[in-house]
Amino acid sequence: MRMTVIGTGYVGVVHAACMADIGHEVLGLDIDAERIAALSDARPPIYEPGLRDLLARTVASGRLRFTTDLVEAAAFAETHFVCVGTPQQQDSCAADLRYVDAVVDGLAPRMRPGSLIVGKSTVPVGTTARLVRRLRRIAPDVEIAWNPEFLREGFAVQDTMRPERLVVGVASHRAEAVLREIYAPMIHAGVPFFCTDPATAELVKVAANSFLATKISFINAMAEVCDAAGADVVTLAEAIGEDSRIGHRFLQPGLGFGGSCFPKDIRAFAARAEELGVGEAVAFLHQVDEINTRQRRRTVALARRLIGGSFAGHNVAVLGAAFKPDSDDVRDSPALAVAAAIRSEGARVRVHDPEALDNARAAFPELQFTLDVSKACEQADLVLHLTAWPEYGDIDPSELAKVVSRPGMLDARDTLDAAVWRSAGWTLHALGRPQPALTSRRNSCVSS
């Protein structure tokens, strides 16, 4: 089937390449001419495992190409996926839908009668209905469906090719048939396919993100209680995770969530609920957001205490800039928020990250950056582990101890082997864990 993908950012470029890889003919559209030129040369605009090879393969096959020409895109196909951003508004918590509206307004008058617009952007409930009313004045023969994405950065290609579920919100059997044809390989492979109304489809995405964000903030709230009580949040998380009703996923205590989805999505969801007159039903999301933000402040406060009460004149090394590993995305990165806060209090801060330094440097030019871990930690009075890249677990703490001023580590992701670091002479601290650690282990009991 022929289709266009409008917007070649994180969601759009992955969707376009994956749809081409399963056999569709895809035309990607973006207003950024430089990005389109790079994509046409099979150079992705983001770091995402597996994407570069996938892009090279599908561009070379001829099934995937790119353009900046809206007229060409409108004429190319009858199915158009909208993958543009929906950032938070500058003056409120609500989602900014100007880019979605611009696509519909620009595309609709140029489309063939009977065309289908399929939204993948994360939008407030009621957006499809509003766009349908908007379309009636421009292109009454055009239909809109909503098909939210559920991509995890670092696993986006996998999540598109082998999704846990497909959700489509449609208003006609024809739209359902089109989407079933597009996703036929996934459906035949047994992927659950939920066909519902557009409002429910819109809500599925924000409800899922809100629930996951709540789990993260819950365990981080427990970490704060554990700090006060002298308890161990990691053992607590392991124990409650054994309950099949709770599960282990998203119960990893640490610095909290960031990125382009969870923070803005829970805020936009709460704002939309207020507009619908049911704000009290999701009022807890404000606390979820506050707990997440407080984790950053708690990390800065603990680092300040560990370094002696003041950052002024001290060297601080930060391991990690991306908001999560296997990504170069620094949008609302907890790691960079902490690094910037420490720098603002007078420290000299050097940041390392395997993939995100260009984006981090553009967002925080006042910080220092390096691709060399040893260089980042040179003469450091404190090292902060803020993004859980696997390679940080491979660092030899004995070797790193030779370049720092003081062997002090704050593991705000709690993924380093504390025993190994401490045996190498490091003082290692983590949120919600006793210091020094005397922790219980599954199937064992320690008594004094």
Catalytic residues: 261
- Between CA 353 and CA 376 the distance in angstroms is 10
Asked if the peptide bond before residue 436 counts as cis, ω within 30 degrees of 0, the response is: yes
- DSSP characters over 42-87: T--SS--TTHHHHHHHHHHHTSEEEES-HHHHHHH-SEEEE----P
Query: 376, 317 in Cβ contact below 8 A?
Result: yes
Instruction: Specify the DSSP class assigned to residue 281.
Output: G
The structure tokens listed for 56 are 């090279």
C-alpha pair distances (Å), 205 with each of 168, 200, 258, 330: 11, 9, 17, 22
Closest CA to 315 of 282, 283, 349: 349
- Between CA 433 and CA 426 the distance in angstroms is 16
- Between CA 390 and CA 18 the distance in angstroms is 26
What 3-state DSSP class applies to 88? strand
